[in-house]
Amino acid sequence: MDKGLEEAFQGFVAARSGALLRTAYLLVGDRHWAEDLVQTALVKTFVKFAGIRDQGALEGYVRRTMVTTATSWWRGRPYRERPVDRFPDRARDDGPDGGPDARLEQDAMWTHLQTLPVKQRAVLVLRYYEGLAEAEIAEVLGISRGTVKSHASRGLATLRQRLGEEHGMAEAVSS
């Protein structure tokens, strides 16, 4: 690879690695796995970088690589749950998000999001956390817009149901 292409790739990584890491974390739910996922996707992209004609599509290429890699990891490795003797301490976040109640809601949503099938989770992450449009999601995942819509619809319905059940159980306990 010539020096100019290598510098262009380094510039892309420097500019977009934070956003890619956030997406990776949302896909796999673990900081260390997310770092591995970004690194793996960037290595795979670097190998193909000289053949990518449209540099504007580079981020979509990397995101698609992350989704397919995360899917293959999910199918091949049991990395989702790790038993621990006690729960880790968490820093309390009373920031501008709305304080501890908002944080609890975010944690509940994140817990339920992690239980969704990989494709549904990927669609919801790309749509609601990354702000991509249906057409962009379809391109990144290599699926049709209709499939994006159906995955989003099913994922949201499942989340609504689970959060509703959780809310109903909380009301029953407090009565």
**DSSP assignment of 112-130:** HHTTS-HHHHHHHIIIIIS
Summarize pLDDT for 77-103 with one digit per residue, the tens.
Answer: 554 455 556 555 544 444 455 556 666
Residue 104 pLDDT:
67
C-alpha distances in Å from residue 15, one per residue of 7, 12, 25, 46: 12, 5, 18, 15
Better-predicted residue by pLDDT, 151 or 8: 151
Within 10 A of 111 (CB to CB), how many other CB atoms are there?
A: 12
Q: Is 34 helix (H, G, I), strand (E, B) or coil?
A: helix
What mean pLDDT is reported for the chain? 80
The domains of the chain, with CATH numbers, are: 1-79 (1.10.1740), 99-175 (1.10.10.10)
Each residue's pLDDT tens digit, 141-173: 889 999 999 999 999 999 888 877 776 665 655
pLDDT in tens, 117-137: 989 999 998 898 888 899 989
Rounded (5°) CA angle 156-157-161: 115
Place of tokens 């890699």: 69
